[in-house]
Structures are given as structure tokens and as C-alpha cells.
Homo-oligomer: A and B are copies of this chain.
């Protein structure tokens, strides 16, 4: 149905706005496997230090290598998603696991979800505080219970029955994230946000956040990590893990643990992990909508992702996706998205902005 010229026109259209990026060129189905990772979408500062940039690129490269090697060894999509996200959860440079940002109460609440495209089985946890690898707990919700989502103390109680590593909440403390929390709280205080109604606070807060976004927030505060995989057997899986928003109200749940919003996988269409302002991803059911546009409109992955992302305002976030044929799409409407992709055809790349990063 789709001709090459129309795809080229689509690519040109996507390039028209500097804030709409869509990394893939023509479709390049990769027989074997494909893997795509994100480490959050936002406004990474072009003036970040070489050390910070190297740490981010190194973390993505390490996770991508783990995933690619496992896929080359025949690992299944679900295993690889968990493996890759555990690696990113242990890296303090990303806002998940170890690097989770701080809530307004100066604590950490973590969310994660995972989905198996072969069976549509899925599991998720929200607001966990003592689990080192929330993605593993999410997978156990999927495999060990008939439920999909456990939150807060209920998720902790479930963890008590499972073989997952527990840590004190202070294990997630990191100085850059703490310093950033204090800047956000100071911004709120100076804007008088403590003496206004919740609605006024929300509006002011959004403005304060926008101002802060202009400054040099640590890249680790952007979002979320996620991974979408096609394995050598043709199965898809996706997962997402996050520490949420800096200075969020406690008990706030974003899209990361919401199947269909932050995570979705279906062998018939695609696997998707999202990052950004979670509320917008829930409202529009972003991850599932990309699959629905492939399924019901017959769109290819690039086009489906572009149309779904067009539902969002600029600056809201991004998605990484892989389809059943091994095509990879990374689409974001922020100025950058930490991301990486590899496939059986030898593709292996890490990007923050448009350009491919140099790897060692």
C-alpha cells in the first residue's frame, strides 16, 4: 500500500520541525532481533560536562551491549527487557532504581511495568520504596499472581513474598538529584506556592518547572528508562522503570506502571516504552495507540508512532518502539532523548540529540 516516495515525503515532513524527531530512515527489517532503549526525554544541556556526557553514553552503551549479546545468544525478549532495565536501574545516571529522583518529601517512590507481546501478560508496581529492581518485581507480579498492578504498601507486601533484593530507601539517595530537588523546592517557595490552592499551585508549578527546564537539570532527572525488544523467535516485549518526577506529591502515579500508556507489547504489532510527562501519556494511551494505529489503520511503525506522538504538545516526551519485523522507531518532541538501538544487521548506536554519539 505504501510507496517509497510517500515514505520519503513523510520523513521530510517529520524533519520540518526541529522539535519533532524520528530517527529511522527507510524501513530496514532486521532478520533475527532488534532492541531499542531510552534513558529519558527532556532538554539535555548542550553544555553538560564531558564527564556527564560520557557517563550517560557509557550507561546506554553498556545496557545495549548486554541486550544485544543476550539476543545473539538466543535469549527471549522478556528476559532481555528485564536484563537491560536492571542494568539501567543500577546506574545512578538514570532516573530509575539507584538514580531515582526525590519526591517532595525527600524520599523515593519507584514505578515499573513489563509486558510480554506473545501472551499480553503484564505486570506493574507503583510507589515501591525498598526494591532495588522494580522491573523484576513487576515481572513477578506478571508471573506469580493473577493481578496486573500492585501499589505502595501492597507492592511492598508482595515483595516480602518474592526473591527480590531489598534496600533501604536511602540507597536511592544521590547528591545531584538531592541538589536538584532543593532547587525545585526553593523555586516553589520563592513563587509562594505554599500559600495557594492546589489548582493555583499546579499552574505556578508548571511555570516553575518550565523555568527550571531552561537551566541545567541533571540528565538523570529527565524521566525514565525503558526498553523494547524483538527476539530471534519473533516475540516482542517492552518494559519501563522510573523514579517519577522530582518533587512529585507522594502517591502520584505516572504512566510508567500503566500498561497501555507507558508500556505495551503485542507480537502482532509492536513493543513500546514511553518517557515524559506521564499524565499526557495516560490521557492519550500512547503506547497502546501506536499498536492500534498499526493494527486498525495499517500504518507502518514510523507513521503510527508519528501520528500518535502528534496527539501530544511539544516538549512532552518520547517513545522507543520496535515492530514485529525488527523496524526501530525513536520519536520524541523534546530537544533530546537519551536512547540507543541495535539489531541483528549490525546497527549499534547511542544518541542524545540528532547526531550519533562516538563510542569507544
Contact = CB atoms under 8 A, between A and B. Distances in A.
Contact of A249 (B150, B202, B248, B296): B150
A122 B260 contact: no
B282 A249 contact: no
Contacts of A149: 252-254, 258, 282
Given A127-B152, A146-B206, A283 B259 contact: yes
A112 interface: no
B283 A158 contact: no
Contacts of A285: 259-260, 285, 288
A161 interface: yes
Interface in A176-199: 197-199
A154 interface: yes
Interface residues of A, number: 52
A32 B155 CA distance: 46
A240 to B, nearest CB: 15
Contacts of A153: 152-153, 250-251
Contacts of A167: none
Contact of A283 (B148, B150, B152, B157): B148
A284 B122 CA distance: 10
Contact of A251 (B150, B259, B288): B150
A152 B150 contact: no
B288 A154 contact: no
A19 interface: no
* Identical copies in the complex: 2
A53 interface: no
B249 A147 contact: yes
A32 B148 CA distance: 39
Nearest to A253: B149
A218 B258 CA distance: 31
Interface string A202-227: 10011000000000000000000000
A289 interface: yes
Contacts of A253: 126, 148-151
A354 interface: no
A113 to B, nearest CB: 10
A251 B154 contact: yes
Contacts of A145: 198-199, 202, 249
B292 A251 contact: no
A144 interface: yes
Contacts of A261: 260
A260 B279 contact: no
A310 interface: no
Contacts of A260: 258, 260-261, 282, 285, 288
A41 B147 CA distance: 19
A259 B143 CA distance: 24
Interface string A114-142: 00000011100011000000000000000
What 9 A-B pairs are tightest by C-beta distance, nearest first?
Answer: A154-B251, A152-B152, A296-B296, A260-B285, A144-B198, A146-B202, A149-B253, A292-B292, A148-B279
30 contacts: A120-B284, A126-B253, A127-B152, A144-B197, A144-B198, A146-B205, A146-B206, A146-B279, A147-B279, A148-B278, A149-B253, A149-B254, A150-B249, A151-B152, A151-B251, A152-B152, A152-B153, A152-B154, A153-B250, A154-B250, A154-B251, A157-B250, A259-B282, A260-B260, A260-B285, A285-B288, A288-B288, A288-B289, A289-B292, A296-B296
